[in-house]
Structure 1
Amino acid sequence: TCYLQQEPTNQVRLAIKQLALENGWSFYDIRNHTGFLRNMQVRLCTTGEIMINIIVGEDDQDKIRLMMETISSRFSQVTTWLFTINTKWNDSLYDLEPVIYKGNGYVIEKLENFQFKIGPKSFFQTNTRQAEQLYKVTRDFAELTGKETVYDLYCGTGSIGIFVSEKAAKIIGVETIEAAVADAKENAALNCLTKATFFAGDVINVCNDEFFGAHGKPDVIITDPPRAGMHEKLVKKILDMEAPVVVYVSCNPSTQARDLSLLDKKYVVTKAQPVDMFPHTHHIENVLQLKLR
């Protein structure tokens, strides 16, 4: 039993396990790359919506049909059901296409008054209530007055940019993953937000003089890179842009510290606030406010 997860997560997991035992279905063996049941993806939202994606290791339509019919009929509170056939060695879903069995194939989550559409392949913070706190700190550190152009780097599905948008004049989001940018545009439309624009591409290539001429240089930069931190070329690009305020959101303080040693040429750290995203673990998000020297 996973005590961190709300129900019906464990109830669904145990029901699938029991169904597998009753029907003699095999469980995935990572060493031998064999077995039918691989894993289960659950998204519970504060709105009450629930999405469950069951990942199987064999393209056996009879087993899949029986499993989905049986389990979905037992748990009517689940708003959307999907299954994904994964016959690869790794567990990544990004190059696979989940199949919608029931519902819309996505859920709607809310942070403050903003709505976000989350599909099975969308990146969204796991701990939604703490994500709201994290984004509040980010917004506070940005010190927006309503006149600023904000560049949201590594914008993903646009959650941070959209969350801070009420206090900004313009949001420019840049993200390398095209599917995430499509989600960001959809989330902006969902919130009737016309001041946010999202672009697919590498920040180093996207943010050139022509881009600045069309969209304006940033007054505030918000950057939220993956665990590996920012590429050295991107750090140099941020130094070149010389935004008066940079807010650096990091899930890995060690790579954040490495990047700060480079940003130190032009910026000074003025505020720091860690946010506990996963209680009883060592994982935190650390938010820094940097100001131009």
Structure 2
Amino acid sequence: MAHLSPAWYRPDACCPQAGHERSSSSAVPLPDERELPLLRGGEIMMEDISGACFTDTQTAVPLVETESATENLTNEDVGEENNTANTSDTSSIYRYIKDGLFTSEIYKVEIQNLPKYIGFNEVKKFLAKYGLIPHKIKLFARQTFAFVTFKSEEGRDRAMKVLHGAQWKNRNLTVRLAKPKADPIIKKRKREAEEGEEMKEQTAAKCLASNNGKEEPLSKQIADVVTPLWNIPYEEQLARKKEECEQVLLKLTRDIGNNNRALLPWLFMQKEKCGGLCCSLEGVKASPLQTEYRNKCEFLIGIGPNQEDKTVGFRLGKYKGGTCAVVEPFDTIHIPAVTKKVAKAFQDYIRSTSYGVYSPETYKGHWKQLTVRTSRNGHIMAIAYFNPQKLNEKELAELQTSMAKYFTEGTGKDSGITSLYFVQEGQRKSPNREDLTLEHVAGDKYIYEDLLGLKFRISPHAFFQVNTQAAEVLYSVIQEWTQVNEETTVMDICCGTGSIGISLAKKVKKVIGIELCQEAIEDAKVNAQLNELNNVEFHCGKAEDLVPYLVNFLDLQNSITIVDPPRAGLHSKVIVAIRKAEHIKKLIYVACNPRAAMNNFLDLCRAPSNRVKGSPFRPVKAIAVDLFPHTMHCELLFFFERVQHSSDKPSEAVQNSTEIPELKLETAGSTEEGDANLPKEEETPDCSSN
């Protein structure tokens, strides 16, 4: 999905991935490591390479490492980490470093005189040669230095000892201590204090001048954040999205030509037929519902812009940008009235309690987030996230009892909540909220939704498209494109609650679903039963582990593979497995962020190599479906076909196989501790496009 919205606006953080709220450990870069490059204003960060799962901001990395295009570093970007910090001053920009809370920032080093063009895999492998296990790595494009953090003083000191003077590609490395990352809020306040009142007045005057002497109302400010196209006619929104999709196709066209010369004759013909594109773009299908369409919203709980305590809503900016103010969601156009009613009731409730809001600046307080899920059946699920701090079990139990009573017998009953959960979220050991324990407080355990005449059960953490009516349009396109029959086998990768596969099940021989989230898999199995389907089976695990295994036991002569991955795209191992499985001839790729998944597209089409075996695919057609009105985001579907097919027939074992042997896989994310105490971009709730 295109990113034409303001630089500080990240719908993928506001709403984990175009509806892909599930964790995306299956979408990590090549080669075999879980390394995460994040492009942030001139720097490439790998947030945690200790094995944890990642979500929103990942980018699928190509099978062949490419040079980053990130440039224009400023002194402020890198200078703050170049010197030893004085962390003893608790009022300083480093006061987040506290005893008892882990942050690898206190074990950071700067490695200098590195080769200019290196990737994460190279750095990690180089460090591994010396027995070093980094916690985080931060590289800068075309720069010869990097920052590396470790989990302990021992790890840091060992790195200082063994790397200083070490040689890499004929370069002698030097290593020095680096100071921790500054707390953005305190850093902003310190800068403002240094600028003085005169600078503040000048800034305020400029703001007023740009708005005819009036300060913009909060309703407009928050609308610009969560729905940046709210004041643009819908037809024009669709035109902009089509233009962005065309840009994606243009880039893919160039990349295919540069990476698979054998496809050039075909590519030239396609460009003639499709206006310079590698395949036809069949437009952008509109969302049947353009307002109040979100069935899942995540609200932050914080202090309002005018210091209103315990406010439920959306943040005006990011913690990284020095903004913590939360604005109520009642004037937004993409949130249903029933959801706003729940947010208001919950705000009233927490204001009646003695517990304050959690502060990402001081790490004090309790209330953190409210997630609301709704269905067209009138079901409403509310999930409250609460930092227990030092409360004992009795106090937490009393709070849950109070909450249950308020929403089942008290004033909150009018909100219509049918399912209520409570989540204790302290210092997380995993970056995925799905790994936190859910405590059922009141009502039903699930909500149910109808889609294309089928019934689906939805658990608190399970993935389901956030715009139900537009999802019906999306799935109808998939049904039309698949052209399945009673002999077809469908492999549904990243299947969530099974909605795509189940929508096709009555027309095909068999559906095989693959999903990482155990909760979603349980829902998918129940959904198959609810719809009286016996030709559907679901497997829980990482797609990169399951796909190579399953293709050995499936007759894929008449098959189609559908992938609907999280924002980052598929793990490169999955692409390799699909390429090797020559009987997979057709593939539909549903991309909620096509730019992030671009390397997946390219890896499907690149020329065969020692690493990428099997004939390449080529794009046949593409179409976009607008699931996120008033944002620059949409789902982009690609239909890929295999260029040539092997004459090999499936083995007798495959032909005669009726059951897939059980494969025991690790399905949960890593439990390695992360930098829970590091000042970072606060997880912004599910507030916009995705």
- Calculate the TM-score normalised by the size of structure 2: 0.40
Matched, 1:166 2:166: no
CA distance in 2, matches of 1:175, 1:65: 34
Matching of residues 57-206 of structure 1 within 5 Å: 57-58=387-388, 59=391, 60-73=396-409, 74-76=412-414, 77-88=416-427, 92-206=432-546
* Structure 1, unaligned runs of 5 or more: none
Matched, 1:273 2:623: yes
Distance of aligned partners of 1:79 and 1:71 in 2 relative to their CA distance in 1, 3 Å threshold: closer
In the TM superposition, residue 213 of structure 1 has moved relative to its aligned partner by 5.8
The residue identity in structure 2 corresponding to 1:292 is: R
CA distance in 1, matches of 2:343, 2:431: 18
Instruction: Name 2:592's counterpart in structure 1.
Output: 251
Matching of residues 202-241 of structure 1 within 5 Å: 202-208=542-548, 211-212=550-551, 214-217=553-556, 219-241=559-581
Deviation track 1:9-45 (CA, whole Å, cap 9, x = no partner) reads 2222223323333444311212222223221111110
Question: Bigger CA drift: 161-170 or 258-267?
Answer: 258-267
The residue identity in structure 2 corresponding to 1:291 is: E
CA distance in 2, matches of 1:202, 1:80: 29
CA distance in 2, matches of 1:152, 1:292: 18
Instruction: Name 1:34's counterpart in structure 2.
Output: 364
Instruction: Name 2:39's counterpart in structure 1.
Output: none
Distance of aligned partners of 1:129 and 1:91 in 2 relative to their CA distance in 1, 3 Å threshold: farther
- The alignment covers a number of residue pairs equal to 292
Distance of aligned partners of 1:32 and 1:92 in 2 relative to their CA distance in 1, 3 Å threshold: farther
In the TM superposition, residue 181 of structure 1 has moved relative to its aligned partner by 2.3
CA distance in 1, matches of 2:552, 2:604: 24
Distance of aligned partners of 1:44 and 1:179 in 2 relative to their CA distance in 1, 3 Å threshold: closer
Distance of aligned partners of 1:273 and 1:23 in 2 relative to their CA distance in 1, 3 Å threshold: same
Taking only the aligned residue pairs, the percentage that are identical comes to: 29
Question: Bigger CA drift: 28-37 or 188-197?
Answer: 28-37
Is the CA contact (8 Å cut-off) linking 2:562 and 2:589 kept in structure 1?
yes
Bigger radius of gyration: 2
Is the CA contact (8 Å cut-off) linking 1:43 and 1:51 kept in structure 2?
yes
Deviation track 1:46-83 (CA, whole Å, cap 9, x = no partner) reads 11211112222225333332233123333353222222
Question: Bigger CA drift: 114-123 or 255-264?
Answer: 255-264
Q: CA RMSD in A?
A: 2.2
Distance of aligned partners of 1:148 and 1:23 in 2 relative to their CA distance in 1, 3 Å threshold: closer
Deviation track 1:139-192 (CA, whole Å, cap 9, x = no partner) reads 222121232111111222211111121221110112233333222222212211
Is the CA contact (8 Å cut-off) linking 1:172 and 1:198 kept in structure 2?
yes
The residue identity in structure 2 corresponding to 1:279 is: P
CA distance in 2, matches of 1:19, 1:174: 40
Of the two structures, which has the highest relative contact order with CA contacts closer than 8 Å and spacing of 6 or more? 2
Is the CA contact (8 Å cut-off) linking 2:358 and 2:364 kept in structure 1?
yes
Question: Bigger CA drift: 261-270 or 152-161?
Answer: 261-270
Is the CA contact (8 Å cut-off) linking 1:138 and 1:249 kept in structure 2?
no
The residue identity in structure 1 corresponding to 2:601 is: L
Distance of aligned partners of 1:91 and 1:215 in 2 relative to their CA distance in 1, 3 Å threshold: closer
Instruction: Name 1:289's counterpart in structure 2.
Output: 639
* Structure 2, unaligned runs of 5 or more: 1-329, 608-615, 644-690
- Calculate the TM-score normalised by the size of structure 1: 0.90
